[in-house]
Every structure is written in structure tokens, then in C-alpha cells.
Structure 1
Amino acid sequence: MPDTDSYDILIIGSGEAGKYLAWTMAAAGHRTAVIERGLIGGSCPNIACLPSKNIIHSAKVRSFTLRAAEFGVELESAVTSMHGVQARKRAMVDSLRQLHLDRYKASGAELIMGEARFVGERAVDVQLAGGGRRRISGEKVFLNLGTHATVPHVPGLVAARPMTHVELLDLERLPEHLIVMGGGYVGLEFAQAMRRFGAQVTVIEQGAQLAGREDPDVGAAVLQLFRDEGITVHLQTRVWSVEGRSGSAVRIVTDGSDGESVVEGTDLLVGVGRTPNTGGIGLERAGVKLTDSGYVAVDERLATTAANVWAMGECAGSPQFTHAAFDDFRIVHDNLTGGSSTTTDRLVPYCMFTDPELARVGLNESEAKRRGIGYRVLSLPMAAVLRTRTISEPRGFLKMLIAADGDEILGFTAFGAEASELMAAVQTAMVGRIPYTALQRAIYAHPTAAEGLTFLLRNPPTAPAD
């Protein structure tokens, strides 16, 4: 049996919550180790949030070149160079990785590259990336395992070698015709970006609308955006089988409202959900129980069923956003240092970085109706926000939900230019429990996106439409 190296803090996975906990606890004098099997800093800076938004912005720049004449600019060519797109993205990712390494060095936390597997309570064997093995135990253990893209059980799908967001983010060529399975955040962001680079794009969604968790008016607005940009969308359509090979030629057999049909393209992207990385690492030996869907079972303080073991981020079933994972870190750290923070009723914002953006915080109408919560509505087209006139981006709308029997802000949705920044202003008011009437008296700078709140709040809220 190998000797065991003991640490005060042992973290499995270096994602958002794990790395901040490691840096913070190590800087406070605790002997801390983080075991990471590949992506230093987790998915966000390497294969998810930041590189995807980097590429999405490159696509936005190209969309401006196609509209150059509208802005009084004459261009001879607007050809996409995917090599250039990737070079910009990789330079950013490389700098972020170095930033993480510098933070580990400065904090004193030990970063161990390898694959961990539990051999008992709070003890793991690590197959080191450079060869060899180590056995490591922790007085306190934290699981930051993350998730991976789900590839559903569809005949022929695995054999077709479809892309997930990971492969698409490294693509050095422009697909001739990209077929996207899934009308959620990942599928929609990449579908629009690839279309703007010049690819033909088809989206297949089995639900009744795009962005299925949002209100029907939001789904309809996103659908119209995609159709205006030349993206083909099939709603209420199920994929029955896949033939061919992504990157060459694929043939998708579908069943929709018009019966069986065939969609043919050159490349296939799967964006239908996430699966937790909880299998095959021996969690049962650590006494850690999972939920029926495979996530780590935790309480409101993110403690697992095993003593002195916590789970954070997506593997714990937290909302699949980096900002939610960072809040998980804050909750766990607060409880380790004598506090009592919990995940109960926390206000988590949602952002989809299509162009224009979709941003929401709190309840939407669908959720309020489902939960039987009475509300009133304030709405405004983005064209009424004067900032959108200056940048020629009038598409979209604002919508605020107000309590039926008071002035509390229940939720806010923005679909439009700079929506995520506008949402943050309303979120701040909601965190501070400021009534919407107080925002009516605020003076917002002109001409900013936030000035839209001035016009949104001018009229009294109305009862929702039936």
C-alpha cells in the first residue's frame, strides 16, 4: 500500500468553485491540494464560457462587415478565416491558463495533474498525468467534478462522431452545412455564430419553441431572429436516426409535425443537455450518495451524505453557470468559517449570448403561472430605448413582473442589445428588495441601455393576458 499524503483541504476538480476555494484556503494557511485531470481552471476558461463568447464576438464582428454599408463603411471583402478566429481564441485561453497557474503558485495551493479515484472515506488514489501514482487524503474533501455534454441514445448518432461544443470550439474550418441538435443555450449560441461566419445552419428542436425554459414570446422572438438571419429551424421534431459521418456528410431522419423527413448536412453538433461527471470515481467508497439523475446529493449548505465532504458546481446539481459555481464557493467557504449561507432562494441570473442577448433574473411568466404566483406586467419594445437607435439594434423587448398585491419586482427579462448589463441593474434592486416604484424615480444616463428602465416604468403595470 502506498504512503498517504495528508492535506487539510482536498479538492477534486479545479473548476470555478474548486479553484477559488483552493486559493482562499491555502492563502489562509491550510495545506491544500487540488487534483485536476486535464483542464486547469475547469471548463469555463478552456472549452466553455469564455472561449465560446470569444468566438461569438468574432462572429458578431463579421456580421458587422456584412452590414458595413449601413454604417457608411465600404469593404471589399468579408471572408471568414477560421484559422484567425481560432488563433484569437487560443491566445486568450493560453493567457487564462497561465493566470491560473500564477494564482496557484501565489496562493500556495498544490495543483496535482492526474485522475483521482476514491479508495475510502476522504482518500483517493491518483493516477498522475506524468506517470506514477499517489494516495492522498483530506481532512475535508470537496467535489468539483463538473459535467459533460450529453449524447442521447439515437441510432447511428455515436457512430456519426458528432461534435459537442468542445470540438466545435476547436474547428479550423467552416462547416458547409451545420446541423444543430437542440434549441437550448449552447445550440442557439453556436448556430447563430456559425451562420454569421458563413455556414448554412439547421436547428432541430423537439420542443414547441426555442429556448424552452423561457416564455413563449421570448421563444417566438428568438425564432424570428434566426429566420431573419437565414437559419432553418424545425420545432417539435424528434431525431430518429443518424447516418454518415460528421465532417463529411450526415443524414438525419426526423419525425415532426409534417411527418417523417430527412435533413442532410456536412457537420453535426449535439447540444441537448449535460451529464454529471460522477461515474467511475468510486464515490460509493467515500459514502457519497447520488440523486436518481446522477448528481451528487447535497443539502442547502452543499454538504454531501459523507461526513466532511462537500460538492460544488454542476456536479451538485447547481445551475449550470460559472456565476452559480462561484456562489457555491462563497456558500461553502462561509460555512467553513462560521457562517450560515445556503442555496435556498438564491437569485441566479440567466444569460444567453446570442446577438441580441437574452437575459433574465427571477421569475418569468411561465414560472409564475406554474407556481400560482399572481403578478402584473410592464413591457417595452427595445426600439423605444434610444440607445438602440444609435447602434441600429432595435430588435427585442423588456419585460418586468411585479407582484399582484404589492410593488415587489418578481422577475425581469430582456431580449435586446446590452441586455445582460441592463438586467444587472434590475437584479441589484431585487437583491436589495427595492420596490419598482423606487426605480421609477431614478435618473438614468442618456443615451444608455439602462435608460430603457425610465420608459419601461412610466406606465402602471397591467394584469397578464390570458
Structure 2
Amino acid sequence: MSSNSYDVLIIGSGEGGKFLAWHLGRSGKKVAVIERKLIGGSCPNTNCLPSKNEIWSAKVADLTHHAEAFGSITGAVATDMRKVVARKREMVDGLIKMHLEFYKDSGAELIMGEARVVAPRTVEVKLNDGGNATFSGDKLVINIGTHASIPNIPGLVAAKPMTNIELLELEYLPRHLIVFGGGYVGLELAQSFRRFGSQVTILEASPQIAAQEDPDVAAEIADALRAEGIAIETGVTITNVEGRSGTNVIVMTSGGRFEGTDLLVAAGRTPNTNAIGLDSAGVELDARGYIVVNDRLETTAPDTWAIGECAGSQQFTHVSFDDFRIIRDNLAGGSRSKKDRLVPYCMFTDPQLGRVGLSEKQAKAKGINVRIAKLPMAGVLRSRTISETRGFMKALVGDDDRIVGFAMVGPEAGEVMAVVQTAMLAGLPYTALRDAIIAHPTMAEGLGPLFTRVPAR
């Protein structure tokens, strides 16, 4: 084996790829990860964790603005965006340091440079430190992620809009932020910047924000955002854009004319598979540019796998981590599959959205008969102690009394959702949660009265 030849070669250091590298390195394999820029991938650098960091800064700002209601007198309150960004950068720096220590401890090699596949399991790298090198592996794993999509709208590119990456680096507060897209990213960041002090308008092409959710869930989130002063326009088609983000932008839509100072595009993701030579290795792409894989995450090329978003997996870090476990176990002779896995969703708006299993409209589309129970968050006594009573819990129960879906809009929804997910994974009947002794006063305590409301068969 030459110095540039490895047991396993991994392109991209995102969640699934890095954990696979560390595991194989600790197992004695010769492993290399080729990373273009972001050590650890987008989650710790630009996406998941940085956004949640600034979302928490916005939560603190919101609590401070309403401190009098809790008995604290604060006086005038303002947000210093430079300090918000500095706190986020400090976290990112610590995460990068942690990742480098994991690489060192595991024995996996990290190669910084831009990779292009030139033959089966063979990669040419333009090294960040200068020069080029070619690397090969007995096995190749592709973990190259996605990037924010910029729709083909006249004037949009010229307007230099921000994606989440640029917005999270802003050291000034936009006077009026216009957000293209009412999905998870757009809604989380719209609320955060409203709480920092920006005027915010959301433009969404679908009839509702959070388009994949049930109408009652989307309506509850929309009501919460509008209550904070965010303007939401749904069912609109953007026809053209004028001006430049950061100074003045004018957005023309089927619903009218919108003028702001800054523009955020949060309109979906595009896989990073274009023009990197995957065809030279026999790796096929689907019509949208995602890598074609089977349930074991094997591509159409021998000894070649794909992980995470580039392989069409749901765009969550926790899914990419499970992709790692699938490949890890299968390389060891197992038969692990991504088929029928139970994937939780969490949107970090305030109140949060937590969902797992089927939604009401998904159950209807599949022809699955369900009984539905709902409980307003005001019925959960913990919500009254913190004065956050907006939202509800909703459970879907099948004919066999097992839980097939759960959604919650409310404080700490992601944590409560994990309790229900555990019951679903165990195949427990809903009565197990209905009759459980759950500590008082907690948010999860609401699961008891929620499941008490399940209609009889």
C-alpha cells in the first residue's frame, strides 16, 4: 500500500463521514478524510449549531424585553450583533479544536483540499496548502453534503442575497429583513432577527409555512410568529428582484411589492455533486443530482458508499449519524438498512416544533386509520409556570393501540418528542404513556392527559 493508498477514503468531513473515519481509524484501518474547508462539516461550522447558538441569543433578548412581566426591571434593551456573532464564533472555534483532537486520537488522517473523482475509488485533490495529489482507497465513501439553493428568479443573483451562512455572520442588525422561504431555516432565522430588533417579512410560495406539516401545526407556528410582529405572505410567486441586499431590495411578487434592506434566501438545498467527476467512478445521480443508493447506502459503483444529504437522506445531522452506523455495521458483515427507520424532526422556533412518525395528512394519504388526541399546552401545568402556554400536543394512534405519530408545538417540544419516539421504537401501546408516572411539573407530564384523550376504538 503506497503512502497515498488507504483502506478507506472518505470525501467530506460531515457528521457521517467523520464518525466513520474515527471508528475505522480506532479499529486499525488506514483512513483518510478529504475536506475542502469546514472541519467537521457544515453542522458545527455554519448550519445547525451556529444557528441554534444565535437562536438562543435571540431567546435571551426576548426574555430581556419581557423581563418586567417576570418581575425584573431592566431599563432600555438593545442587541449588539457583534457580541452575538463573537459568541457564536467562539463556540465554532472550540468545536473545530475538538474535531482536530478526535482525528489525532483516532489515527484517521485529515487532508484539506478540493477533491475530484478521476477513476473508481481514486481522487485527485487540489491541496489547500498548494499543489495537487492523488489518493486511492480500497473503499470510497462520499459525504459531500448540500448547499443553499438560489432560485432562478430575474435579478436575484445580482441582488447578492444572503444564505444562512452570511446571515449568521452579520455584525449589524438589518432594518428590514425579507426572507424567501417558510421552511425550517427561514422560520428559525426570521424569528431570531425579529427578536434582535429587525422588521421581518416572510415570503412563501406554498399555501402555508412549514409546508410539510399538518395545517393545524403550520397555523399555530404562523400565529406565534405574527404575534411577534413578523409579516407572513403565503401562496406568492416571486417574479423579480431589484436592488442589492445590505442596502435596499425590492421584491416583486404575485401578491404585490415588498421593499426591505436585506434579503435571506432559505428556499431548499442542492447536492454538492455537480462537476466533481462522480461519473468517472460509475456513481449514478438521480434527476435532482442526488447520489443513487440502495437501502444499505451502496452506490452504483463497487465498494463505494454515500452518506447524508448528498445521498438523499433527510437533511438532518442525526440522520447522517445513522447513515454512519448503517455503513459501519455493514462493513463489519451486518445487514443494517435505512428502510423504515423512525426519523424525528425538530424546528427550533419558539415555541419549538417536535414531530416523529406520521403526520395526520401522511396517515390519510397512506390509508392508515388513526385516532387523534390533542391537548393544548395550557393544559400542561409546567407551561403555566414559565408563562409559555402557546401550542399543543397531538398524537396519532393506530387500531392496534400503538402510536404511529406525534407532533408538539410548545416549549421543549424536541425533548418531549424523544419520550414518545422511545415508546414508538419499543412498540408500546399508547396506554403505557397514559398510565406512566411522569414527574411533576414537567413538559413531558402532559403526555398523560394527552393520551387519556385518545378516542375509544
| TM-score bracket for the superposition, by shorter chain length | over 0.9
- The equivalent residue for 2:336 is 341
Q: Identify unmatched segments of 5+ residues in structure 2.
A: none
Question: Does residue 1:75 correspond to 2:70, yes or no?
Answer: no
Residues 3-82 of structure 1 mapped to structure 2, 5 A cutoff: 5-82=4-81
Amino acid at match of 2:442: T
Retained in 2: the 8 A contact 1:10–1:137?
Answer: yes
State the 1:439 CA deviation: 1.5
Q: Residue 457 of structure 1 aligns to a residue in which SS? A: helix
Question: Does residue 1:424 correspond to 2:423, yes or no?
Answer: no
Retained in 2: the 8 A contact 1:4–1:137?
Answer: no
- The equivalent residue for 1:446 is 440
Deviations 1:73-105 (A, max 9, x none): 000121100011011100000000000000000
Q: What's the TM-score once normalised by structure 2's chain length?
A: 0.99
Retained in 2: the 8 A contact 1:20–1:329?
Answer: yes
Retained in 1: the 8 A contact 2:395–2:451?
Answer: no
State the 1:4 CA deviation: 7.3
1:138, 1:96 → 2: CA distance?
Answer: 28
2:154, 2:403 → 1: CA distance?
Answer: 47
Deviations 1:250-280 (A, max 9, x none): 0000003xxxx10000000000100000011
Residues 345-364 of structure 1 mapped to structure 2, 5 A cutoff: 345-364=340-359
- The equivalent residue for 2:295 is 300
Retained in 2: the 8 A contact 1:177–1:200?
Answer: yes
Retained in 2: the 8 A contact 1:155–1:240?
Answer: yes
2:235, 2:135 → 1: CA distance?
Answer: 50
Amino acid at match of 2:329: D
- The equivalent residue for 2:428 is 434
Name which of 254, 265, 268 aligns with 2:263. Answer: 268
2:35, 2:455 → 1: CA distance?
Answer: 51
Q: Residue 404 of structure 2 aligns to a residue in which SS? A: strand
- The equivalent residue for 2:452 is 458
State the 1:461 CA deviation: 2.5
2:415, 2:343 → 1: CA distance?
Answer: 15
- The equivalent residue for 1:252 is 251
Name which of 282, 290, 306 aligns with 1:287. Answer: 282
2:454, 2:306 → 1: CA distance?
Answer: 44
1:126, 1:227 → 2: CA distance?
Answer: 49
Retained in 2: the 8 A contact 1:4–1:134?
Answer: no
State the 1:440 CA deviation: 1.7
- The equivalent residue for 2:321 is 326
Amino acid at match of 1:128: L
State the 1:289 CA deviation: 0.3
Retained in 2: the 8 A contact 1:289–1:305?
Answer: yes
Deviations 1:166-187 (A, max 9, x none): 1001010000000000000000
Amino acid at match of 1:406: D
Name which of 368, 383, 388 aligns with 1:388. Answer: 383
Q: What's the TM-score once normalised by structure 1's chain length?
A: 0.97
Amino acid at match of 2:229: G
2:374, 2:211 → 1: CA distance?
Answer: 21
State the 1:437 CA deviation: 1.3
2:145, 2:389 → 1: CA distance?
Answer: 38
Q: Residue 329 of structure 1 aligns to a residue in which SS? A: helix
Retained in 1: the 8 A contact 2:206–2:235?
Answer: yes
Q: Residue 7 of structure 1 aligns to a residue in which SS? A: strand
1:263, 1:335 → 2: CA distance?
Answer: 52
Deviations 1:432-452 (A, max 9, x none): 111101212210000000100
Deviations 1:44-63 (A, max 9, x none): 00000000000000000000
Retained in 2: the 8 A contact 1:378–1:462?
Answer: no
Amino acid at match of 2:154: P
- The equivalent residue for 2:105 is 106
- The equivalent residue for 1:401 is 396
Which moves more between the two structures, 143-152 or 216-225?
216-225
Q: Residue 426 of structure 1 aligns to a residue in which SS? A: helix
Retained in 2: the 8 A contact 1:7–1:137?
Answer: yes
2:12, 2:287 → 1: CA distance?
Answer: 22
State the 1:460 CA deviation: 3.3
1:159, 1:142 → 2: CA distance?
Answer: 36
Q: Residue 252 of structure 2 aligns to a residue in which SS? A: strand
Q: Identify unmatched segments of 5+ residues in structure 1.
A: none
State the 1:457 CA deviation: 1.6
Deviations 1:28-55 (A, max 9, x none): 0000000000000000000000000000
Amino acid at match of 1:275: T
Q: How many residues were matched structurally?
A: 456
Which moves more between the two structures, 354-363 or 432-441?
432-441
Q: Residue 96 of structure 2 aligns to a residue in which SS? A: helix
State the 1:325 CA deviation: 0.2
Q: Residue 159 of structure 1 aligns to a residue in which SS? A: helix
Which moves more between the two structures, 433-442 or 381-390?
433-442
State the 1:217 CA deviation: 0.3
Retained in 2: the 8 A contact 1:402–1:461?
Answer: no
State the 1:385 CA deviation: 0.3
Deviations 1:274-298 (A, max 9, x none): 0000011100001100011100000
Which aligned segments of 4 or more residues in structure 1 are displaced greater than 6 angstroms? none
- The equivalent residue for 2:407 is 413
1:134, 1:355 → 2: CA distance?
Answer: 48
Residues 112-123 of structure 1 mapped to structure 2, 5 A cutoff: 112-123=111-122
2:97, 2:397 → 1: CA distance?
Answer: 45
State the 1:459 CA deviation: 2.9
Name which of 362, 369, 376 aligns with 1:374. Answer: 369
2:75, 2:289 → 1: CA distance?
Answer: 53
Deviations 1:219-258 (A, max 9, x none): 11111111100001111011100000000000000003xx
Q: Percent identity?
A: 59
1:437, 1:454 → 2: CA distance?
Answer: 9
State the 1:462 CA deviation: 6.4
State the 1:372 CA deviation: 1.2
